[in-house]
């Protein structure tokens, strides 16, 4: 009986070595293009570059995004795209997002309240669906320089 328990323990330890943690997927916004909207909403196509720093491919089935600017929700979108990011590879995907008129109004009011601000923080949260029990979540943080952005337009 002891030999059976010892063998079972060795098998468990060996199987744990197979499940080493994977590095997170790197996601960068590489472009934003306008899409036709309806009534009081603005639609955009957000292009993302997914980079897989692991030695196994990552399959995904579905993408969800939400963008918060200046600690206020601005845009959200989903897509039922599916595909694979090759091992040590990258892929480009496009996710349509919607911005409501009320979100734009909230952002404008927030900027008016912080009139002396020279930059605005943003956070992009997202999720790559990887089956019924798994998802690869990602987050990109940064700030938008209002002086540079305003000068460009």
Instruction: Note the pTM of the prediction, 2 decimals.
Output: 0.72
User: Of all residues in the chain, what percent carry a pLDDT higher than 90?
Assistant: 29
Q: Between 23 and 3, whose confidence is greater?
A: 23
DSSP H or E segment with residue 79: strand 72-85
Domain 20-113+121-152 sits in CATH at 2.60.40.1820
In this prediction, residues 95-111 reach a mean pLDDT of: 84
pLDDT digits (tens, 9 = 90+) for 5-17: 777 776 666 655 5
Band (64; pLDDT cuts 50, 70, 90): very high
Which of 90, 57, 61 minimizes the C-alpha distance to 78? 61
pLDDT digits (tens, 9 = 90+) for 29-48: 888 888 998 888 889 998 99
Q: Between 150 and 114, whose confidence is greater?
A: 114
Q: How far apart are CA 21 and CA 24, in angstroms?
A: 9
Burial class (CB in 10 A: 0-12, 13-18, 19+), 12: exposed
Confidence at residue 66, expressed as pLDDT on a 0 to 100 scale? 94
Asked if 50 contacts 128 with a C-beta cutoff of 8 angstroms, the reply is yes
Confidence at residue 28, expressed as pLDDT on a 0 to 100 scale? 86
Confidence at residue 53, expressed as pLDDT on a 0 to 100 scale? 92
Kindly tell me if the per-residue pLDDT of 152 is higher than 50.
Answer: no
What token pair was written down for 97? 């997002």
Kindly tell me if the per-residue pLDDT of 134 is higher than 80.
Answer: no
Spans of all domains in the chain: 20-113+121-152
Band (153; pLDDT cuts 50, 70, 90): very low
Sequence-distant (≥ 6) Cβ neighbours of residue 57 within 8 angstroms: 84, 85, 86, 87, 89
Confidence at residue 20, expressed as pLDDT on a 0 to 100 scale? 56
Band (82; pLDDT cuts 50, 70, 90): very high
């Amino acid at each position: 009986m002891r030999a059976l328990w010892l063998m079972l323990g060795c098998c468990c330890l060996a199987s744990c070595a197979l499940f080493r943690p994977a590095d997170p997927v790197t996601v960068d916004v590489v472009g934003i293009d306008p899409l036709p909207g309806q009534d009081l909403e603005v639609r955009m196509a957000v292009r993302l570059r997914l980079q897989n720093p692991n030695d196994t491919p990552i399959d995904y089935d579905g993408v969800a995004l939400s963008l918060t600017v200046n600690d206020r929700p601005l845009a959200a979108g989903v897509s039922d795209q599916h595909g694979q990011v090759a091992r040590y590879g990258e892929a480009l995907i496009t996710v349509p997002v919607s911005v409501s008129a009320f979100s734009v109004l909230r952002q404008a009011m927030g900027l008016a309240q912080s009139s002396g601000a020279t930059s605005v923080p943003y956070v992009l949260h997202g999720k790559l669906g990887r089956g019924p029990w798994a998802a690869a979540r990602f987050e990109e943080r940064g700030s938008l320089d209002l002086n540079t952005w305003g000068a460009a337009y």
